[in-house]
Copies of this chain bind each other. A is one copy, B any other.
Amino acid sequence: MNVLIVYAHPEPQSLNGSLKDFAVQRLQHAGHAVQVSDLYAMKWKAVLDAGDNTASLSGARFDASHNSKHAFAAGTQSEDIAREQDKLRWADTVILQFPLWWFSMPAILKGWIDRVYACGFAYGVGEHSDTHWGDRYGEGSMAGKRAMLVVTTGGWESHYAPRGINGAIDDILFPIQHGVLFYPGFDVLPAHVIHRTSKIDGAGFERVSEALGERLDNLMTTAPIPFRKQNAGDYSIPALTLRPELAPDEAGFGIHVVRD
């Protein structure tokens, strides 16, 4: 299997750095091919702008979707973007690894999404009709591939519990797991979250790396989060609201997950 790890942490000698190195070794020992996009080491350009299309659309005011659609179709994307898209095509499984900063990903990783997820590649794909609203949320360019988040936090697990003050970690990650990964078609495995990182010493590292190792060993067999597919009947088109008979008395992101 081909595994791409997109990794966003500024310090190689951090817990995140050690876990990334551990993951690469674990996956390679299991016979997988691994590529790492180490965004800080690559000095990844975080900010989406007109320069992302090497053939600038002169005269026109800059429109991010329009610009990326043209560049993607014409093969004039900035080379760094095209290279990351090739890695995504190559991968069977994609892991995004990052520390949770302000309840989301670090800016450098958000900028990887903003720029690599071109129009025509990750969105703006497929036909729109009365029964099909584009290839997204369960369909799309990444269909058939798996994805998983590996996330570290400084806070306690209870602070991210279903009734924890920060909000439930599954809800905090929903805009990423559902909106960034499920949207272009990935099967999304449950996130692997490591809490209270500042308290992890040598013995702690053995424990957390082994727990991560087990997740990596089971990448192929772990059941994905059963997000509802957009075009399979659960949503009214074009309003794209969940049909009233489904999860009728529930609220929150959880209604978009099929419960047994």
Q: Measuring CB to CB, which residues of chain A are less than 8 angstroms from any residue of chain B?
A: 10-11, 13-14, 40, 46-50, 61-65, 99, 101-108, 110-111, 113-114, 117, 137, 154, 156, 158-159, 161-168, 171-172, 174-176, 178-180, 230, 235, 238-242, 250-256
Q: Pick 19 A–B contacts, CB within 8 A, sort by A.
A: A14-B61, A40-B47, A46-B107, A64-B99, A101-B113, A102-B180, A106-B110, A107-B107, A107-B114, A156-B239, A158-B240, A158-B241, A161-B241, A165-B256, A167-B178, A171-B252, A250-B251, A251-B254, A252-B254
- Chain B contacts of A48 at CB under 8 A? 10, 101, 106-107
- Chain B contacts of A40 at CB under 8 A? 47, 49
- Give the nearest-CB partner of A179 in chain B: B103
State in angstroms the CA–CA spacing of A122 and B162 once bound together: 25
- Most chain B CB neighbours (cut-off 10 Å) among A14, A107, A108, A179: A107
When the two chains form the complex, which single residue of B11, B50, B65 contacts A62, counting CB atoms closer than 8 Å? Answer: B11
Contacts A161-B241, A254-B252; A166 near B154 (Cβ below 8 A) = no
Does the CB pair B114–A167 fall under 8 Å? no
- Chain B contacts of A174 at CB under 8 A? 167, 171
State in angstroms the CA–CA spacing of A35 and B255 once bound together: 41
